[in-house]
Structure 1
């Protein structure tokens, strides 16, 4: 007999459908409107279908310096990703053993998750301005010519901007690695040491392959959080805008669908990173399964 759904099931289904529409509707709208013809506007109905506005985007027509902002965000995102993975792994290994001040260090590391992003950005900007004023003051006091003539600021994309983004990505990476190492079986490392492996060989050939899928997740968090970040970038990156900041600024000045094309490209990069991460995880799992199968055949 067919199962009859209750009225509650349909109500909850409708609520969930509305939630999904609210969540992804704006993105789909921007995606569709970015493919309008040359005479298209910012609202429906669409006026033709073409790649005209993508051409304008890559030609820099109506959206100056977008390519520069894209490259800056890509550079910053990759750097943040690499540092987040390395520091998270190192912290995860360090916290496997108890040491004095571990709890204080842990809560200090993740405290930035609960702080307002704009406050973090302002605080970092203030710190770097204090450093700038100190350096300039020393230059004037001791009459250091190169400081007086050339020094401007140490605030920039790869200094204060990088620090601001790490305050957002590192806590997620740390939490993932802490969870991974809490479930990690030390018997694998003991077996490697019994076979004569050095600590470095144990890490590279035993620990690293086992935690590889988790590292992909940490890298995914690192890049996507950095790629889309605005609030923590707003006061801390200096004179150069990242792509999200450039896009935010264009919303008040650009009145053509080229801004939708920019939004589509930005979203496509995020999805490309996510799909690449999934592909890497699947390849690692397939390789691991193949090694297990080969080892089983060798025992027969």
Structure 2
């Protein structure tokens, strides 16, 4: 076996520092969340325990976590369903050239280059002009769509650019109409990718802060509640929440991975 060069060890060390930079803050949060009742917000740790993990579900000194978490999950689920369907239909429409498609494309993705705080401010002003009340559901939904829909649309465009249209042509030659072709041919083929897009959409909506900050109304989503609590004296329950939400995110990823793997094996079989 040939000895490894010096550049290999330098690059390996650089990669190790890169991984540490990415996951170091997360590991720190995990450690600080596993403390006893006398735990503090900084090192050193006074005692080890799971006390603060249980305190996440209790009323906090300022605010609480349970209801904002429920709002974020509900809002993220609604955004995911809307974005998955709208991005799929939009990407299918762009498979063929039509008049004004270029202008419409750039208008669709322009929301990604506008500062997010201006999107939130503009949406709040629009709701005020129309006489509508802002809240985490209605105006929050609009704010999240301006962020998640263009991203999902771009991904779905890439998916359909790699899609082989001969499958649809074969189905139509056998007498299938457009709806049947989509449900029995197109959707099963793009479903693994669509699950990935949906997972990304849910994550972007669940974590969204800036675009929701000025239009959430009286009740906060989870990111807004966490930000509000960091401005006051808080407890290690905030770290425990980070640990639980990270485990929740990893659980969603594992579920999506298992679903995609089974769908891929079924297609290959």
TM-score by length of 1: 0.86
- Alpha carbons 1:77, 1:226 under 8 Å: kept: yes
2:224 equivalent among 221, 228, 245? 245
- Alpha carbons 2:152, 2:197 under 8 Å: kept: yes
Pairwise mapping of residues 184-195 of structure 1 onto structure 2 (< 5 A)? 184-195=163-174
- The equivalent residue for 1:39 is 38
- The equivalent residue for 2:49 is 50
Structure 1 residue 10, shift from structure 2 partner: 2.6
CA root-mean-square deviation: 1.4
Task: Determine if the alignment matches structure 1 residue 211 to structure 2 residue 190.
Answer: yes
- Alpha carbons 2:62, 2:234 under 8 Å: kept: no
Structure 1 residue 63, shift from structure 2 partner: 5.0
Task: Determine if the alignment matches structure 1 residue 106 to structure 2 residue 115.
Answer: no
Structure 1 residue 114, shift from structure 2 partner: 1.4
Counterpart-to-counterpart distance in 2, 1:122 and 1:277? 34
Structure 1 residue 41, shift from structure 2 partner: 1.0
- The equivalent residue for 1:220 is 199
Runs of 4+ aligned residues of structure 1 deviating over 6 Å after TM superposition are: none
Task: Determine if the alignment matches structure 1 residue 86 to structure 2 residue 85.
Answer: yes
Structure 1 residue 289, shift from structure 2 partner: 2.1
Q: Secondary structure at the match of 2:18?
A: helix
TM-score by length of 2: 0.95
Counterpart-to-counterpart distance in 2, 1:254 and 1:262? 16
Task: Determine if the alignment matches structure 1 residue 128 to structure 2 residue 127.
Answer: yes
- The equivalent residue for 1:75 is 74
- The equivalent residue for 1:267 is 246
Counterpart-to-counterpart distance in 1, 2:50 and 2:158? 45
Structure 1 residue 263, shift from structure 2 partner: 1.4
- Alpha carbons 1:161, 1:237 under 8 Å: kept: yes
- The equivalent residue for 2:151 is 172
Aligned length: 269
Counterpart-to-counterpart distance in 1, 2:118 and 2:12? 39
- Alpha carbons 1:57, 1:63 under 8 Å: kept: no
- The equivalent residue for 1:163 is 142
Tell me which moved more, 177-186 or 83-92: 177-186
Counterpart-to-counterpart distance in 1, 2:236 and 2:105? 46
Q: Deviations over 1:187-234 (max 9, x none)?
A: 111111111212111100000000011101110111000011111111
Unaligned runs of at least 5 residues, structure 2: none
Counterpart-to-counterpart distance in 1, 2:23 and 2:67? 28
Q: Secondary structure at the match of 2:211?
A: coil
Unaligned runs of at least 5 residues, structure 1: 133-152, 291-300
- The equivalent residue for 2:11 is 12
Q: Secondary structure at the match of 1:25?
A: helix
Counterpart-to-counterpart distance in 2, 1:101 and 1:154? 34
Counterpart-to-counterpart distance in 2, 1:236 and 1:102? 31
Larger Rg: 1
- The equivalent residue for 2:235 is 256
- The equivalent residue for 1:278 is 257
